Chain A
Amino acid sequence: MNLFQLIAAPVATILCVRSALGFVRGKHPRGSSLAAGVIWFLSALFILRPDLTMRVARVLGIGRGADLVLYLFAILFITSFFYFYARFRFIESQLTEIVRHLSFSTSDLPNKGAQSDSSRSPEDSAG
């Protein structure tokens, strides 16, 4: 075992166990815990047995184990990007809805004239 394997493999294993416990206990969304657990398990496995990447790559018709890892990383990265982009847009839309709702509740009506101070009540602007 080299130094990298001595450090990285236990870390990946611990994170895998943590994800598994999260899945069992249901504290976090089960899909996320499962996906994270699988990723950490594979990470630990490939760190301890880098020759496995070569075998899997050959089965899949990919030239090298390193290429397989790179392709998996790229897929994971792109998937994560669009997942977080979708979450970001959802949160932005919710923020807009809140701002919109507040604007309706503080709107000024034409027969009272446009107000400079939104804190003034409609009764204050009459006359």
Chain B
Amino acid sequence: MVTNDRVFIVIAAFNEARTIRNVVQQLLVHYPDVVVVDDASSDGTALCLKGLKVFLLRHILNRGQGAALQTGITFALQQGADVIVTFDADGQHHEKNIPALVEPILRGECDVSLGSRFLGSAHNIPFARRVILKAGIVFTRMVSGIKVTDVHNGLRAFSREAAGSLRISMDRMAHASEILDQLKTRKLRFKEVPVDIFYSTLSLRKGQSSWGALKIALDVFYKKLAE
């Protein structure tokens, strides 16, 4: 993808020493502006990036993926990003999906592109995970009124204006639901794009548990009631 617009890739990383270097190296081939936010990892995640030309930010306390993404997004905006892509550190995402997310924004078709594994492909996705994600779709439609096919995909792209207007306040995993909620309240145009998600043994072991989905739902529920 050739463009004069500055595309920043923001990665929130927590204890991803095994995968982060490989993920970042593959991104740097095509995207020189990569921001890694190390969310107080204890396994030397930041050390694994030694010698790579990345923006490296470090949280001194673990604040959660939502907080780390907002830190990366804010930093990218300060650096003059025109488009910001959020990308997972665990190797589940593939950089070849990035142009499909960015190009609709550059053409002015939308403000936000949302990756959807159910429009694309989800390799080795466990059955239970598929069921929970499908339940999440129903939950999101009830709570936020947003119709999407994948409510918890970390592969997204934002225009500069959209990234500046969004504010992730939910520090942990409920941030994904919050982003969708804000798309509606801020009247941002969004488009779903097919992407490929690769589940490995490592990413499944480290990823969200089924109980985590319940916690996310409770966090969203409490926040709605408290507002």
Contact = CB atoms under 8 A, between A and B. Distances in A.
Interface residues of B, number: 33
Given A96-B63, A114-B49, 18 more contacts: A82-B225, A85-B222, A89-B226, A96-B171, A99-B61, A100-B59, A100-B67, A100-B70, A102-B59, A103-B59, A104-B71, A108-B57, A110-B54, A111-B53, A115-B46, A116-B47, A116-B50, A118-B58
Contacts of B47: 116
B117 to A, nearest CB: 29
B56 A114 contact: yes
Which secondary structure characterizes the binding site on chain B?
Answer: mixed
A96 B67 contact: yes
Nearest to B219: A89
B184 interface: no
Nearest to B38: A103
Contacts of B67: 96, 99-100
SS of A interface (majority): helix
Interface in B54-82: 54-61, 63, 67, 70-71, 74-75, 78
A119 to B, nearest CB: 11
B61 A86 contact: no
B37 interface: yes
Interface residues of A, number: 24
Contacts of B78: 104
Contacts of B56: 107-108, 114-115
A112 to B, nearest CB: 8
A111 B51 CA distance: 10
B32 interface: yes
Contacts of B200: none
